[in-house]
Structure formats: C-alpha cells, structure tokens
Amino acid sequence: MLTLIRHTTPAIDKGICYGQLDVPLDAAASEAQWRALQQQLETTVKWQGVYSSPLSRCLWLAQKLAAQLALPLYTDDRLMELHFGKWEGLAWNELPPDELNPWMEQFVTAAPPGGESFEQLHQRVGQWWQQAKQPALVVTHAGVIRSLCCHVHGTPLSDAFAAYQPAYGSMIALPAGHG
C-alpha cells in the first residue's frame, strides 16, 4: 500500500507555472494542513518509510511524518513534479500561445520547451514505483500522484488531470502491488 500525500500549500501567486521550481510554503496554511493530516494518519500500518520529492515543499512535510512515526526518510528525484523547462516561474497567461497550445492539446506526449512530457514523468515515476518498499508514505506533487493513480487504476494518461485532482495536504491510499 502506498499512501500518497500532496505537499502543503506553497507561497506562490496563483497562475504561476512552478513544476520543479523550489518554492517556499505558506507557513500558516501548511501548519493547519499538517494538523489535519495528523488526525488522518493510519497508525496501525507497519510503514516501511517515508518517500519524498527532494523539493523543499515536500521535504518539510516528509520530515515531520518521519519524525512523528520514527521512520526512515528517503528522497528521490523521480518523485519531483513535471519539469516545465523554460516555463518554470512564468505566469501561465503570459506563455507564448505557439508553445502553450500544442502542449495543452497533447500534454501526454508533448513537452514544454526544455521540459518533459507527462509520458516521460509517468515513465520515471513507474520506475520508482517498481522499486518502492511498501507500505509507505509518499510526499510528492499533483503530477506524480496523478501518474501513480494511472499506474494503479489503469487510467489513460490523457484522463489523468480530469480524474485526479489532489488538494494540497490531501492523502490518497493506493493498494499494494506493482504494475
């Protein structure tokens, strides 16, 4: 079993493309989300560890979980968000339409300039999933959560954004096993 946890609320203006950009957290919102997560944690599971994206918005929560549950913490670059290349840090509404529109229409196979496609993210996340010790807590990003849900449930990648919309600080439990 994997319990996927999306990082808490970042301190960044809405409408900014931040993918693998290391952005800080909104301290007040993150503390409130942490308190809510503590109430939801399954304490009877014999967790093998906490896995995390190395980005600070995930590590903050992963470190808290590992400390509270006395578990090892593992970071893995394969758990990072989609790489948006030269779009990182820019406002979505300011991206050149001749770059953005083809990506929006074919995000599964098209990559932002200097970035990666959702299919590429899905491949690296799948490689991590094959090696993960379970049961585990996984603190990561919305794109990675969508990918893992697609792996487990067999959802087509083209439906990932409509099918899975994890909120900041939310948990999703996936059954044990590998694809």
Tens digit of pLDDT for each residue in 55-79? 999 999 999 999 999 999 999 999 9
Q: What is the pLDDT of residues 160-172, one digit of tens each?
A: 999 999 999 999 9
Interval 84-135: pLDDT, tens: 999 999 999 999 999 999 999 999 999 999 999 999 999 999 999 999 999 9
Give the count of alpha carbons within 13 A of 43, CB side only: 6
pTM score of the predicted model: 0.96
**Which domains are present in the chain?**
2-10+44-174 (3.40.50.1240)
* DSSP β-bridge partners for residue 10: 25
> What is the Cα–Cα distance from 124 to 171, expressed in whole angstroms?
21
More confident residue, 44 or 136: 136
Q: What span, in angstroms and rounded, lies between the C-alpha atoms of 101 and 98?
A: 6
CB 156 within 8 A of CB 149: no
What are 42's two structure tokens?
Answer: 């399954």
Please determine, for residue 18, whether its predicted confidence score (pLDDT) is greater than 50.
yes
Is the pLDDT assigned to residue 152 strictly greater than 80? yes
Residue 179 pLDDT exceeds 50: no
